[in-house]
Amino acid sequence: MLQNNPALIHLKNTLRSHTEYVEGIVKKNEKGFGFLEVNTQKSYFIPPQCMKKVMHGDRVVAVIQNHVQNDKERKVAHPEKIIQPFLTRFIGQVQKKNKKIFIIPDQPMLKQAIPCNISKNITQSTLQEGDWAVAEMHHHPLNGNHIFCAEITEFITTNTNNFAPWWVTLARYNLARTDPELETPQKMLDEQLVRHDLTETPFITIDSAHTEDIDDALYIEDIGNGRLQLIVAIADPTAYISIDSMIDEVASERSFTNYLPGLHISMLPRQLSNNLCSLRPQKKRPVLACRVIIASNGVPDTNVQFFAAWITSRCQLVYNHVSDWLEDNQKSHWQPPDVIIAQQLTLLNRLCITRNQWRQKNALLCKGRPEFRFLLGKKGEVLDIISEPRRVANHIIEEAMILANTCAARLLRDKFGFGIYNVHLGFDQTHAAKAVAMLANYGISTDSITITTLDGFRILRRQLDSQPTQFLSSRIRRFQLLSELKTTPGPHFGLGLEVYATWTSPIRKYGDMVNHRLLKAIIKGEDGICPTDTLTLKISERRRQHRMAEREVNDWLYLRFFQKIVGSLKKFNAEVIDISRGGVRIRLQENGAVAFIPSSFIHHIRKELICSHDHGVVKIKNIVLYRVTDIIEVTIEAIRMDTRSIIARPVPSCYFL
């Protein structure tokens, strides 16, 4: 009766119109209460009883009420509506309690046990305490349910499995855990494509010692007047894979070969990637090739030729062996197998130097860090971490591939105006203005219009690279846009190039397979099929997932490695890579591990300490102690398995003792 009372309805509507609603993200505190973060400047307190209805990370709408406590008034958020739950599909560990099944999400801020149902395809006896599983959240208190409730949909692995880091991480990002099990075509497609016979040309490959999916081979010759002619031959999986085949569909879905420590999961069936298409020595293989002439000043000739061919690689060389010989052939234990190979390496080194000098003046160079390789035992234990700096042989291959990719990008742009392009636009206008303001504080004058042009960006990067430290380069990076995959051509500011598209790793990257097909269409004089934006978005998302998966497995393995080092007082040199209010993130130079130094470890009097993310500095009593890119000495204090984090302590500076 009262339910339809007009006066009551009017009163409710009046009250509702005066009620303040806000939308934000829930941030949980370890003490049980939380905050609704509306933006970086504004948040509201959430009482403990209200936190029982939400999770850390939930995006909700809350009603804001005034609460008076101890004669002080404060605005308090009461969540009422869920907009986007933090957990939908998630990974966790099984907990059994009183014959009931719970799952504890594998999230640093979520340690509550969520009651679970079990999917029909899983028997309850399969699940044991601590086992890893995939679950989906089915009930949320803000959707009218009394409690959170999930359903376990997939068993991943047992808690005792030494290889849990790999299987859990792959499941988290929904990535394939095995190579494609598909019937591999043994015969090539009839592509109506003429292949030049280059089987007598002494091509060579340079890779890591254990590489099986070899996708590039090089041949170079001196043609006089300081000019070099380079042929880059690339493995041709599209010679076996039709665009409408199951293999192509699976490759499109996977997008990349997944390289994890001690494990790589192929994009293509191994019979193709490691055998029929791999440019193994002394094996006749189909390739797509690029012939380009480079002048003595490093400028490539505009008459670049793309063509299909047959090659037989003369030999498979190893990065470190080639580097040893080129850097000091008198002391090198390894020698080229014959005079022809020695000449090839000498000419390739000359090409690398020439192109490197050209890029320094006309494009940009990337200063890469050493790569770190985990040496693993049979049970997944970390025996050692090996630093592998990029040496001369690595730079030879890098320069050759950048040159070949640039040539392909220009050809695709001029013939079709589409393809799979790597595009990096540097800054947008908003971030450019912030970058200009920051640089002005350090005496570097520029403007937001100039640095959003390719020439202006090149000038800025060279100016920053000439600084005595990399501090400003590090600070400017946070304003830069990320690179993207696009179907239309655009500049790549990071490389300093007008256009860039990769085609040199088709065994490992689906986007390169797409560009192969477009290059073949040009060779045959046919029209190309423009790839869709949906495809580039899918490939981009896969790339992001692969990078996150690699980082997560690395973090897990670093924890295993440092278990035996915690408390040993062994000192490490570390680079400061980020500073936040809570402390400092560092990267150990010896092995690449990322660790965190809490602010309480830096200085015990909090009011005297300033940790500024915006300025990239740590100050004590207004004196700069650390800056981003500084090298400091630390010891390992602890490892925290629940957050996959390493806690370090700085070796005290004598100034502040």
Name the residues annotated as catalytic: 207, 213, 215-216, 319, 508
For every residue of 570-619, DSSP letters joined together read --EEEEEEEEETTEEEEEETTT--EEEEEHHHH-S-GGGEEEETTTTEEE
98 phi-psi bin (left φ>0, alpha ψ -120 to 50, beta other): left
For every residue of 58-119, DSSP letters joined together read -EEEEEEEEEEETTEEEEEEEEEEEEE-S-SEEEEEEEEETTEEEEEESBTTB-PPEEEEE-
Q: Please work out, in degrees rounded to the nearest 5, the angle formed at the alpha carbon of residue 312 by the alpha carbons of 309 and 318.
A: 120
Block residue for tokens 């060579």? 204
Q: How far apart are CA 261 and CA 385, in angstroms?
A: 11
Q: What angle in degrees, to the nearest 10, is found between the helix axes of 510-524 and 533-562?
A: 140
Q: What is the CA radius of gyration of the chain?
A: 29
Question: Residue 355 contacts by C-beta under 8 Å, 6 or more apart in sequence?
Answer: 294, 298, 399, 402, 403
In 3D space, the residue among 304, 279, 292 whose CA is nearest the CA of residue 216 turns out to be 279
Quick one: tokens of 507?
A: 């065994």
Residues 396, 206 contacting (CB under 8 angstroms): yes
- Which regions of 425-523 does DSSP assign to beta strands (E)? 484-486
Tell me whether residue 138 is exposed, middle or buried, using C-beta atoms within 10 angstroms of its C-beta: 0 to 12, 13 to 18, 19 or more. middle
Tell me whether residue 264 is exposed, middle or buried, using C-beta atoms within 10 angstroms of its C-beta: 0 to 12, 13 to 18, 19 or more. middle
β-pairing, 315-318 with 371-376? unpaired
